[in-house]
């Protein structure tokens, strides 16, 4: 099944913004002009632009048009929105994301992992350690636990690509939400070894539980990010009453 039209349009406009096709000092083309260019209704174009406003790429200035919000567009940083439940491959859209599998095995979970995944300690889980690269440079170290009876068929080939894409496209499951805790930490030995961290470089650690659409937790993970390669953005939208 193809993507919904407004999502396809949002993807194309996002790519244009990333390439610098629109001047950051001027409003992008208005809804009517863009709707005519893309062969869609004005309502479809409005929904596409709302996606990019929510992502923090665009903002509306009443009476003047829609402008590019420049702050997240630093070329060597990945912008992660607080409300997103997508993986690194989607967050770094348009860039080359590769993975190195450092550890991968199935074992019974300790009490903390079992609690966060809402399973008992007799349910086996995948224990995955991956180093993620963007354009050949190390960006994040991931330690992930997933129940193997729920997320079936994981192997090293899947881990070389996007696990979330595999879950949604191959297993037919829908990822809906996550609970994240973001903290600063000092680099561990593995951070210094794999992320090229200096001994005093801070690390951004994201601990999260990710849920399927039926409310079942399927991932408990710790992602350790290089401080100079990620921006975590919180978008607050004031809704009219």
Q: What is the mean pLDDT of residues 24-30?
A: 87
Which residue would you say has higher pLDDT here, 119 or 19?
119
Give the pLDDT of residue 149.
97
pLDDT band at 24 (very low <50, low <70, confident <90, very high): confident
The CA–CA distances, whole Å, from 197 to 98, 141, 190, 200 equal 19, 12, 9, 8
The structural architecture, per CATH, of the domain 88-226 is 3-Layer(aba) Sandwich (3.40)
Write out pLDDT tens, residues 1-12: 346 889 889 889
The structural architecture, per CATH, of the domain 5-68 is Orthogonal Bundle (1.10)
Write out pLDDT tens, residues 75-112: 444 555 444 545 565 555 667 888 999 999 999 999 99
**Integer Cα distance of 135 and 197 in angstroms:** 18
pLDDT of 236 strictly over 90 = no
Q: Residue 224's beta-bridge partner residues?
A: 141, 205
Query: At 227, is the secondary structure helix, strand, or coil?
Result: coil
Which residue would you say has higher pLDDT here, 69 or 187?
187
Give the pLDDT of residue 63.
82
**Integer Cα distance of 218 and 208 in angstroms:** 11
Contacts of 98 (CB under 8 A, 6+ apart): 132, 133, 136, 160
**Integer Cα distance of 205 and 86 in angstroms:** 16
Give the chain's radius of gyration (CA, Å).
20
Q: Mean pLDDT over all residues of the chain?
A: 84
Intervals of CATH 3.40.1410.10 along the chain: 88-226
Q: What is the pTM of this model?
A: 0.66
Write out pLDDT tens, residues 30-62: 999 999 999 999 999 999 998 888 776 788 888
pLDDT band at 214 (very low <50, low <70, confident <90, very high): confident
Which residue would you say has higher pLDDT here, 25 or 194?
194
pLDDT of 72 strictly over 80 = no
Look at residues 149, 45, 19, 163 and name the one whose alpha carbon lies nearest to residue 99: 163
**Integer Cα distance of 29 and 126 in angstroms:** 48
Write out pLDDT tens, residues 166-177: 999 999 998 887
**Integer Cα distance of 226 and 195 in angstroms:** 7
**Integer Cα distance of 84 and 87 in angstroms:** 9
pLDDT of 118 strictly over 50 = yes
Q: What is the mean pLDDT of residues 16-39?
A: 89
């Amino acid at each position: 099944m193809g993507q919904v039209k407004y999502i396809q349009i949002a993807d194309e406009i996002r790519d244009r913004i990333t390439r610098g096709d629109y001047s950051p000092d001027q409003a992008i083309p208005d809804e009517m002009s863009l709707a005519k260019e893309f062969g869609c209704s004005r309502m479809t174009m409005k929904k596409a632009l709302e996606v990019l406003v929510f992502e923090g790429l665009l903002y509306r200035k009443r009476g003047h048009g829609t402008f590019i919000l420049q702050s997240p567009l630093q070329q060597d940083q990945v912008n992660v929105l607080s409300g997103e439940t997508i993986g690194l491959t989607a967050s770094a859209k348009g860039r080359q994301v590769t993975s190195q599998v450092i550890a991968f095995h199935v074992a019974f979970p300790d009490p903390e992992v079992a609690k966060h995944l809402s399973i008992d300690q007799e349910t086996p889980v995948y224990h995955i350690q991956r180093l993620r690269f963007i354009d050949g440079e190390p960006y994040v170290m991931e330690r992930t636990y997933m129940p193997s009876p729920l997320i079936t068929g994981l192997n090293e080939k899947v881990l070389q690509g996007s696990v979330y894409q595999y879950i949604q496209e191959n297993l037919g499951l829908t990822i809906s939400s996550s609970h994240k805790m973001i903290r600063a930490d000092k680099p561990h030995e593995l951070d210094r070894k794999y992320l090229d961290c200096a001994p005093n470089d801070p690390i951004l650690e994201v601990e999260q539980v990710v849920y399927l659409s039926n409310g079942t937790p399927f991932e408990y993970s710790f992602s350790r990010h290089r401080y100079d390669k990620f921006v975590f953005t919180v978008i607050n939208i004031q809704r009219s009453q």
